[in-house]
A and B are shown apart, each in its own frame.
Chain A
Amino acid sequence: MQVGVRSRRAKALSAAWGYANIVPFAAFALFPFYFMVITSFKNDAELYNLKAVPFLIQTGVITDHYEYLFFKTEFWTWMKNSFIISVVSTSVSLVIATLAGYSLARLRFPGVNAFGTAVFITYLVPPTLLFLPLSQVVVWLGISDTIWALIVTYPTFLVPFSTWLLMGYFRTIPREVEECALVDGASRMQTLTRIVLPMAIPGIVCVILFGFTLTWNEFTYALTFISQTQNKTVVVGVTADLIRGDIYYWGSLMAGAVLASVPIVAIYVFFLDYYVSGLTAGAVKG
């Protein structure tokens, strides 16, 4: 690059141009969350005052909306449900996907390519294609309207996605390492658990992060399979159960949306780089 030729002025101009362009994008991306937070701390009088500036809190920060959420709704039950569902279905999917991913990426047996293709196709099937028949399957299994309906069905999109992601990571591990272990008398299972898995830790972290995020955020199945308030996930609970009649209580709705997003934001802030690398490696559902 001809950096030396460029004058300082041109460089500064170019930087300014860059910022001038990126700021609108960042503002567009962030504004809804900013507005969510602002709304959740505003009192109703100001919220529904057409003359007030909506971007600011002018008449004092209040926590009434949060108190309402904590003491008058099933909010913590929903949070607990979401947590259990996400943790269990992510763990189960991780185990199934690790086994399948290793097998598809590393072992040679007849039909391995066909299985790989099948996993890839399943990975592309959108949940909205299957929610109607699955809603009947969970009725037949007797788990309709319980959190088990989601624990059982979430692996249908998590496993193909995680398998696909892990296959990529397993392929980067040199074959020689495994062959050495096998020659030294380790069983295949020991080779997988003691040699390969420790080397695929970044992939596993990615699967856990994406699994937790996708299940926590899932809406279609959670809305469809569960109707009892105390069994809902937090995303559906806040979206569907905080609206009473035709009146929208925007303050408490936004408070619920903020709090239900907190776990995801917290994870996201700590593991941003994993999200970026996972996304690039093919974690594209959604």
Chain B
Amino acid sequence: MAVGPRALEAAGVPRLGSLARVREWWEREDVFGYGLILPALLLIVCLVAYPFGMAIYFSLSDYWVGSPGEFIGLKNFQDIVRWDVFQRTVWNSFFFTFCAVVLKTVLGVWLAMLLFRTFKFKRLIRGAVLLPWVLPTALSMLAWWWMFDSLYSVVNWTGIRLGLITAPGPNWLGVTEYAMAAVIAVNVWRGLPFFAIIVLAGLVSIPREYYEAAEVDGATAWGRFRHVTIPLLKPVLAVVILFSTIFTFSDFNIVQVLTRGGPVNTTHLFATLAYQQGLVGGNLGQGAAISLFLFPGLAAVVFFQLRYIRRD
């Protein structure tokens, strides 16, 4: 080894110092590739994968804030499954997600088709429609909270003046059914722009010739929508519905600000119940068990994404 470099030097080739050797090593494609990905990987391992493991451990222990507990097996799960508030939460989560996603899909396709038409002020209209998605949700929830106020609700004021509801109007956030309806409506308000913009991108990519051909064949507007637009939008719709399902299912902000799970714990979703139980109540074990119920849904969506969508 000691002879090699000196021999090279004698032959007029510059000696490879250790720094140069490191540099050369760094230029290898695989080394460079792993090197660049290392910070992201460390972050994912330390702050995503490890906490996820902890969540599983918490859920299997009687861990309270400030007192590391002991392993208790599936007791937390057995307890929450029997708890009526949790049972209600399971139902709420599915009901909320189903209604919100269906409404967002239908209205989103409709809105996208409207945005696709040529308008004056196209940019302005697009900007207005996208705004709810961009602004801080927690803050726009404050506005909705005020709009649903039990006494000064502007929704009721308008409804009464238009003769749609009788005075004094529903106490939106104080009665379970109304509160659920309000929370769903607000989720639709907030998630609709996302749907519309993505579906719009899908519409733009449909070749005009298909519509012309359908028109020549005498297809009506509905026929064109049914047999050209919808089939060609399917891949885009699949992606957007899957994404939206995950984020609607795991929603926290809307319920947390608007109802705090109330009245009397009847509008909780998994995330807000986990917050209330795990952090406000201090029972981290049970809180973690509740939040882990988000996982099967997430896993299913990831599976579908990887299996069917990322292929193309």
Contact = CB atoms under 8 A, between A and B. Distances in A.
Interface residues of A, number: 96
B139 A257 contact: yes
Interface in A232-255: 235-236, 238-239, 248, 250, 253-254
Contacts of B110: 21
B11 interface: no
A286 interface: yes
Interface centre among A107, A133, A261 (most CB of B within 10 A): A133
B208 A1 contact: yes
A1 B41 CA distance: 52
Interface residues of B, number: 98
A213 interface: yes
Given A132-B287, A254-B143, A272 B30 contact: no
A153 B47 CA distance: 7
Nearest to B204: A280
Interface string B126-164: 111111111111111111101101011010010000000
A177 interface: no
Contacts of A211: none
Q: Label chain B's interface by main secondary structure.
A: helix
B287 A124 contact: no
A203 interface: no
Contacts of B125: 22, 26
Interface in A118-177: 118-122, 124-137, 152-153, 155-156, 159-160, 163
Given A18-B117, A22-B119, A115-B37, A36 B143 contact: yes
Interface in B247-268: 247, 250-253, 256-257
A64 B215 CA distance: 61
B201 A280 contact: yes
A71 interface: no
A112 B134 contact: no
Contact of A219 (B129, B137, B157): B137
A279 B136 contact: no
Given A54-B157, A97-B40, 16 more contacts: A25-B114, A29-B193, A36-B142, A54-B154, A99-B40, A115-B41, A117-B306, A133-B58, A134-B47, A134-B51, A187-B27, A213-B134, A217-B138, A235-B138, A261-B136, A261-B140
